[in-house]
A and B are shown apart, each in its own frame.
Chain A
Amino acid sequence: MSAIIKDHVLSLLSKGVRLDGRGLEDYREVSIEYGISPKSAEGSARVKIGDTEVVAGVKVEMGAPFPDKPGEGSIMVNVELLPMASPEFESGPPSIDSIELSRVTDRVLRESGVIDFKKLCIREGEKVWLLLIDIYPINDGGNLYDAAYLAALAALKNMKFPEVVEDKIQWGKLTKKGLDMKELPMSCTIIKIGNYFLVDPTEEEFILLDSRLSVGVLKNGSLCALQKGGEKSLNIEDIEKMISLAVEKTGLLRKAFEK
């Protein structure tokens, strides 16, 4: 079954067209909505890319720092592939797909310097802020990698610290203090089917991919994270092509974010 579809997709790609009529390097429309759960979450956002929809929320927690980083707070990133979002997703413990998605998203946020972990310190060696970021696809129309990352970043941009009285968080009472975002890293995943490179894959294309590369890109064009996926290998030319495509497309994502 999927072999037949793949032949069809490849023959279309050879003519420069995709199943949904887009060109190989065409990105669908991206929209971001902030504060979708303002009563409950300290920060929240909804991202739509085509008919893909992902929501993300930030809850804060006060806790002890890690022993090796007594002056730094931390983040936790969790993606749950809700069975609501696709008939392919099942209830139960996190699948390896959701774990990989969580970790790739986490890595870009953590390694890019977007969050100043020192500023999350309340009392060195004693108390720090932990930012708990939960990301949920509501509708899987593909490209969950880019959408999940963008939703997490948007929820962080939307977040405000709550009031604290005698080391107790006053839930529901937010201060005006948000997160200082020093960098604006973006993440873009490029997929390879046959000899073709595609951006912003639909869920069908994502199933058919031979390999993929997620690329974290800083404002100045430097890279901050990579993840290769898929069953087939890549050579250096592939990687160069995929990275330059990813860097180009993060421009568009950054624009949507800064709008």
Chain B
Amino acid sequence: MSYTKRFDGRKFDELRQMSAKVGVVSKARGSAMFTIGKTIAIAAVHGPRELYPSFLQDPEKGVLRCNYNMLAFSGGGERVRPGPSRRSKEISMITQKALLPVIDLKAFPGRVVDIFIELVQTDAGTRCAGISAASLALADAGIPMKDMVSAVAVGRIADKVVLDVNKEEEDYPDGMADIPIAIANRTGEITLLQADGEFTLDELKQAIELAKKGCAKIKEVQIAALKEKYMNGGGEE
């Protein structure tokens, strides 16, 4: 079996169309909207602010809290029940872990930075879009970071390793492997790695290479969004 042509006509190493904008939630300290294909994520950062109950406070360093949530109408099928689910709690946790390595928690000891990620529309890759949006919102909020995190889901479909799978590919009839990856771009370190489905070690290596290329392009979009806000609209491509 061979996957010769992608359902939406993209090349195997091609991302979906992206857009990014920062400062979309004026009541938050920092915020961003990140769109990849039909997946739309909004992230907003509140804080550093007081952390209660106070036993959670750490006098040495701050706390980063992430909350991933799908709006009730954002799923492909039935209405998504509001409130946390096992899935959304796990994604919130891995999002926090994907961002922690680049954040200087010592810059806000005893306090908390809250990131809220809301999915407005979903077409696979939602945790990755959420992470890319969150990283951008943290930068917009001026939280000290040493790198920009970008994330993308790579898939193994039949004999091909493909970049940025959409829902139609995720539902590939013969099954597939879905491998979301987040990368701190400057150092190339991997801060999120999950996978489900069958794949070989060699395919995983290909997937990571592909994710690196993809994340470099995502980073360009993230940086352009920041420049657009902070450099008098003089952002570059």
Chain A residues in contact with chain B, CB under 8 A?
36-41, 44, 51, 53, 55, 57-59, 61, 78, 80, 82-87, 91, 93, 132, 134, 136, 138-141, 171-172, 203
Contact = CB atoms under 8 A, between A and B. Distances in A.
- Nearest 5 A/B pairs, CB to CB: A57-B73, A41-B73, A84-B116, A59-B79, A134-B72
Contact of B44 (A39, A84, A136): A84
A interface secondary structure, majority: mixed
Contacts of B67: 83, 91
Contact of B73 (A85, A86, A134): A134
B144 to A, nearest CB: 20
A87 B30 CA distance: 12
Contacts of B49: 87
Nearest to A93: B83
B3 to A, nearest CB: 22
Contacts of A55: 71, 120
B25 A84 contact: yes
Contacts of A86: 27
Interface size grouping (class) on chain B: 20 to 34
A139 B27 contact: yes
Contact of B42 (A138, A140, A172): A138
Contacts of A139: 24-28
Interface of B: 24-28, 31, 38, 40, 42, 44, 46, 49, 67, 69, 71-79, 82-83, 114, 116, 118, 120-123
Nearest to B79: A59
Nearest to B71: A136
Given A59-B79, A87-B46, A141-B26, A136 B74 contact: no
Given A37-B121, A91-B67, A78 B26 contact: no
A102 to B, nearest CB: 11
A36 B33 CA distance: 13
A171 to B, nearest CB: 5
Residue with the highest number of chain B CB atoms closer than 10 Å, among A84, A140, A171: A84
A56 B116 CA distance: 18
B40 A37 contact: yes
A178 to B, nearest CB: 16
A168 B195 CA distance: 32
11 contacts: A37-B40, A40-B76, A41-B73, A57-B71, A58-B73, A78-B82, A84-B28, A84-B118, A85-B44, A132-B73, A136-B118
